[in-house]
């Protein structure tokens, strides 16, 4: 089983950007944490600050992966294009947020992505990624 983890805009700044909200782990450390958690699941990683690149990756993943874990970053709140790309594919997608977006600024409360994903995990720190991969594995009954 293979799962693709997509990190959206500004997640390349993890470890530097607001550690009180996002923690002190860098993106490479987050990826290593996720990868180290699973022996029977191959996890690939992709990060982009560009909406079109994320859409391309979502479309390419359909049929290549068992599922996608996506942290869309700020695109969560307004990217109908990413939403439509997710809705158009046949593999399960789980939305992840390191922080609890419902407990933050008002403009972060709304996710246009949530309605088209299998589930959303928010506020569990980087462990949320592990939960999301487990959810996809469970969906395929591989755990």
Catalytic site includes residue 97 = yes
Q: What's the CA gap between 118 and 115, in Å, rounded?
A: 8
Residues in the chain: 143
| DSSP symbol at 29 | H
> Which H or E run includes 55?
helix 51-61
Spot the catalytic one: 37, 77, 80, 97. 97
Catalytic site includes residue 22 = yes
| DSSP symbol at 65 | B
Spot the catalytic one: 22, 77, 78, 129. 22
The order of strands in the sheet holding 67-71 is: 42-47, 2-7, 67-71, 93-97, 119-122
Active site members: 22, 97
């Amino acid at each position: 089983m293979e799962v693709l983890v997509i990190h959206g805009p500004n997640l390349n700044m993890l470890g530097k950007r607001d550690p009180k909200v996002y923690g002190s782990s860098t993106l490479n450390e987050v990826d290593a944490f996720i990868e180290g958690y699973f022996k029977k699941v191959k996890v690939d990683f992709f990060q982009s600050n560009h909406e079109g690149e994320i859409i391309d990756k979502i479309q390419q993943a359909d049929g290549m992966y068992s599922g996608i874990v996506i942290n869309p970053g700020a695109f969560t709140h307004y990217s109908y294009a990413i939403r439509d790309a997710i809705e158009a594919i046949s593999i399960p997608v789980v939305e992840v947020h390191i922080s609890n977006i419902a407990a933050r600024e008002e403009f972060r409360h709304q996710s246009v992505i949530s309605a088209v994903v299998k589930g959303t995990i928010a506020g569990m720190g980087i462990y949320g990624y592990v939960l999301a991969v487990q959810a996809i594995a469970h969906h395929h009954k591989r755990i």
